[in-house]
Amino acid sequence: MTAELGYLALVLAWAAAVFAAFSSSVGATYGMGRLVASGRRALLAAAGLSTVAVGALLVAFARHDFSIAYVWQTSSTTTPPFYLVTAVWGGQSGSLLFWSWTLALFAATAIARRWRADAALMPWFTAVCGAVLGFFLTLTAFVANPFERLTVLPFEGNGLNPLLQHPGMAFHPPMLYLGLTGLTIPYAFAMAALLARRTDAGWILASRRWTLVAWAFLSIGLALGARWAYDVLGWGGYWGWDPVENAAFMPWLAATAFLHSVMVQERRGMFRVWNMVLMILTFGLVIIGTFLTRAGLVASVHSFAQSDIGPYFLVFTAVLLVGSLALLWARLSYLRSDGVIDAVLSRETAFLANNVVFMGALFGVFWGTLFPLVSEIVTGQRVTVGPPYFNRVVLPVLWVALLLMAVAPAVGWRRARAALVARALRGPAAVAALLGVALVALGVRQPVALVAFTTCAFALLTTLAEMARAARARMARGEAPHAAVGTLFRRNRRRYGGYVVHLGVVLLAAGVVGSNVYQQETERTLAVGETLRVGAYRLTYEGLRVTEAADRRSVAAVLQVRRDGRVLGSVLPRRDVFRLREDQPMTIPAVMSRPLEDVYTMIGVIDPDTERVTVKAVVNPLIGFVWLGMMVLVAGTLVAAWPDGSEARVMNAELRRLLGTAVPARGA
């Protein structure tokens, strides 16, 4: 009964989304207010109905209704309740339903909040969202139906893939989906602006917070994925340039370029066409990314959710890109630039360079991800494009981004005075250079590390100096230091939130360099009592420990960790065998986190008779900076995106001053 109810809701949601697309576009074209209004209601209904469908699937999981193929496939009676919830997005059809649901909720929220504020855009916005939602619900309802019944009734389910039974993995996919579906909203606003011929910065104002929020979710999703890889996959790293990682990273890169480039349009009215292109590209990459993940076109560790929906995505991607670009072409005359770049040394140039750099990095990732396919088509020979390629091709480009991040905030708009720029950068550059010398004196000899660390210091110092300068200006007017900083953040959340994001990027970059360039690794087979040395640490193998649980059996090696003769504690890297998936044992690493580095251990071959075990130990310096940097980055994004009454107050005050009339103060 639950399955029927869920499927009914799903099909109705599909119908409502398709109706919303038609009704809204026809209504908007011919100015038929009632069609527009019913389009709006249809999309809101689609959101409600898809919520019912998700609820029905949850109930089916809670009841262990194994007559539903998807429930059978991704859960069992021994699956813990928490993972019953996460199983909703743990496979192909469920994740498509989840995708559709979050998209519907986002679109409904945008419609509910902005219907009157952006009256000209919203009908078209509804139409675009309805069309995208309609596509995803078509797949969910008619191609990969999560409510499909099995012809036999099994007593026990297949169980959730053991790899996915990790807290990081529980939240990693939904965060990514929220980021990816969230990017649909600014895309829909962009298309609505073109369709409605309202091509000023209105669509950017309407959607900029959505872009930031989506970007934050995408960042959280990527960060959790990295953490999951580190905690579960057991190779001592957190980013493998896997095609599916790249599929999520590419829209992130494009959205990052967009978030910067859009400031030039807001402030100077330039880059109008380019920002449209960036938005189309970003959303196109969202769809291509989903397609790459799902279609199994490129080999990946993420083969949890593959199927035959590839062709649908290919057609949708083609329609989407051709349609969007054709629309942009048709509206080019509406997108004339208000201004020109006045001088080479200007903030505009810096943002332009930012765009070149991010597009360059994006293309490097794109080309590397698709090259195996290209190579197979051209030469018939498939090649692998792995981390060595991406590290060499993409990382130098991202280093330029880091350098730009250090310099750009000091460069003024329009026509920057070279003397001012030099004055702002002199101090930080000198300190960074001193740090470089100190690092050499301390024995850092790797050129890559020296260049990267000094660049990090440079960027860190210019960012802090920029914030300190603004705070000092306020303190000169008698504000206390903490109040001055607080006022800065309140007055201009976007700028200072953005600077916090930059600080996060600096930390992240330092962590990435430290943990890659200075990683130390040892592997040995140990008998009980033997010791392994890795870096400054000694790991003594004290024996095996076996634990039985309802759903799994764990064998752990107890390793005592010592440094300089002092015992720091024990780590227990282990191997889990899940009863329902005995063919797929999980090797779970154990990590001891120290302030400046991690001791990362995992076990390989275990000889049950002699208790001899192969232990691999890795020292990852500065890896904590990676996680810290990601958290700071997300915190900064939230600062920038947080609803801000004062922004509106400033604008309304200005409006009153300029017009000399009483404009009601709003949003206080």
Partner 1 sequence: MVLALGAAVTPAAPGAAQADVQPEDVAAIARTLNCPLCQGYNLQDCPLEVCAQMREVIRQQLAAGATPEQVVAAFVADYGPQVLNAPPRSGFFAAAWLVPVLALVAGAGLALATLLGAGRGTRPHAPAPATGVADLEQQAPDGPPVGADGPDPDPGRASTIERLERMARWDPEA
| Residue list 295-334, contact with partner 1 (CB under 8 A) | 299-301, 303
Binding residues among 569-608 for partner 1 as defined by CB under 8 A: 587, 602, 604-605
Of the pair 60, 602, the CB lying nearest partner 1 is at: 602
Neighbour tally for 437: CB within 10 Å: 11
What does DSSP assign to residue 91?
S
Of the pair 154, 339, the CB lying nearest partner 1 is at: 339
Least distance CB 132 / partner 1 (angstroms): 20
| Binding of partner 1 by 643 (CB under 8 A) | yes
> Distance between CA 577 and CA 123 in Å, rounded?
54
Binding residues among 646-665 for partner 1 as defined by CB under 8 A: 647-648, 650-652, 654-655, 658-659, 663
| Binding of partner 1 by 375 (CB under 8 A) | yes
DSSP secondary structure string for all residues of 625-657 = HHHHHHHHHHHHHHHHHS--HHHHHHHHHHHHH
Interface mask toward partner 1 for 111-150; x: CB under 8 A: --xx-xx---------------------------------
Among 410, 503, 613, 619, binds partner 1 (CB under 8 A): 410
Binding residues among 252-291 for partner 1 as defined by CB under 8 A: 263, 265-269
Q: How far is CA 45 from the centre of its chain?
A: 29
Q: Which residue has the tokens 């300089």?
A: 564
User: What single-letter amino acid sits at 508?
Assistant: L
Of the pair 22, 413, the CB lying nearest partner 1 is at: 413
Of the pair 378, 441, the CB lying nearest partner 1 is at: 378
Take residue 440 and report the two structure tokens written for it. Answer: 């050499």
Q: How far apart, in Å, are the Cα atoms of 360 and each of 214, 253, 396? A: 22, 10, 10
> Distance between CA 247 and CA 289 in Å, rounded?
4
Burial of 41 (0-12, 13-18, 19+ CB in 10 A): middle
Among 339, 427, 569, 608, binds partner 1 (CB under 8 A): 339
Residue 616's beta-bridge partner residues?
Answer: 523, 602
| Binding of partner 1 by 393 (CB under 8 A) | yes
Q: How many residues bind partner 1 (CB under 8 A)?
A: 107
| Binding of partner 1 by 294 (CB under 8 A) | no
| Binding of partner 1 by 392 (CB under 8 A) | yes
Pairing of strands 574-578, 566-571: unpaired
Please state the φ and ψ torsions of residue 382, each to the nearest 5 degrees.
Answer: -80, 135
Long-range pairs, 84-87, Cβ under 8 A, ≥24: 85/58, 85/61, 85/170, 86/160, 86/164, 86/169, 86/170, 87/61, 87/160
Least distance CB 605 / partner 1 (angstroms): 6
Q: Where does this chain touch partner 1 (CB under 8 A) — which range of 65-73, 154-162, 314-322, 463-471?
A: 463-471
Of the pair 22, 371, the CB lying nearest partner 1 is at: 371
Q: Where does this chain touch partner 1 (CB under 8 A) — which range of 24-32, 56-64, 128-136, 233-241?
A: 233-241
Binding residues among 499-538 for partner 1 as defined by CB under 8 A: 521-523
CB 595 within 8 A of CB 627: no
Least distance CB 240 / partner 1 (angstroms): 5
Burial of 82 (0-12, 13-18, 19+ CB in 10 A): exposed
Of the pair 16, 253, the CB lying nearest partner 1 is at: 253
Of the pair 192, 341, the CB lying nearest partner 1 is at: 341
> Distance between CA 101 and CA 184 in Å, rounded?
13
Least distance CB 387 / partner 1 (angstroms): 7
Among 85, 314, 331, 342, binds partner 1 (CB under 8 A): 342
Pairing of strands 613-621, 597-606: antiparallel
| Binding of partner 1 by 157 (CB under 8 A) | no
Take residue 626 and report the two structure tokens written for it. Answer: 């990676």
> Distance between CA 483 and CA 488 in Å, rounded?
9
| Binding of partner 1 by 373 (CB under 8 A) | no
Of the pair 80, 667, the CB lying nearest partner 1 is at: 667
Q: Where does this chain touch partner 1 (CB under 8 A) — which range of 26-34, 60-68, 173-181, 488-496?
A: 488-496
| Binding of partner 1 by 383 (CB under 8 A) | yes
- Torsion angle of C-alpha atoms 271, 351, 208, 29, degrees rounded to 10: 10
Least distance CB 44 / partner 1 (angstroms): 17
Least distance CB 567 / partner 1 (angstroms): 26
Of the pair 97, 264, the CB lying nearest partner 1 is at: 264
Please state the φ and ψ torsions of residue 253, each to the nearest 5 degrees.
Answer: -65, -45
> Distance between CA 436 and CA 454 in Å, rounded?
6
Residue 569's beta-bridge partner residues?
Answer: 561
Which residues does 512 contact at the CB level (< 8 Å), separation at least 6?
626
3-state class (DSSP) for residue 303:
coil
Of the pair 308, 523, the CB lying nearest partner 1 is at: 523
Q: Where does this chain touch partner 1 (CB under 8 A) — which range of 49-57, 62-70, 95-103, 490-498?
A: 490-498
Of the pair 479, 611, the CB lying nearest partner 1 is at: 479
Half-sphere exposure of residue 467: CA atoms within 13 angstroms, side-chain side: 26
| Binding of partner 1 by 170 (CB under 8 A) | no
| Binding of partner 1 by 110 (CB under 8 A) | yes
Least distance CB 660 / partner 1 (angstroms): 10
Binding residues among 33-92 for partner 1 as defined by CB under 8 A: none
> Distance between CA 435 and CA 143 in Å, rounded?
59
| Binding of partner 1 by 666 (CB under 8 A) | yes
Straight-line distance from the first to the last Cα atom of the chain, in angstroms, rounded to the nearest whole number: 49
Of the pair 116, 566, the CB lying nearest partner 1 is at: 116
Binding residues among 192-231 for partner 1 as defined by CB under 8 A: 200-202, 205-206, 209
Among 151, 333, 379, 610, binds partner 1 (CB under 8 A): 379
Of the pair 394, 460, the CB lying nearest partner 1 is at: 394
CB 282 within 8 A of CB 320: no
Least distance CB 281 / partner 1 (angstroms): 13
Of the pair 54, 121, the CB lying nearest partner 1 is at: 121
Among 338, 418, 579, 596, binds partner 1 (CB under 8 A): 338
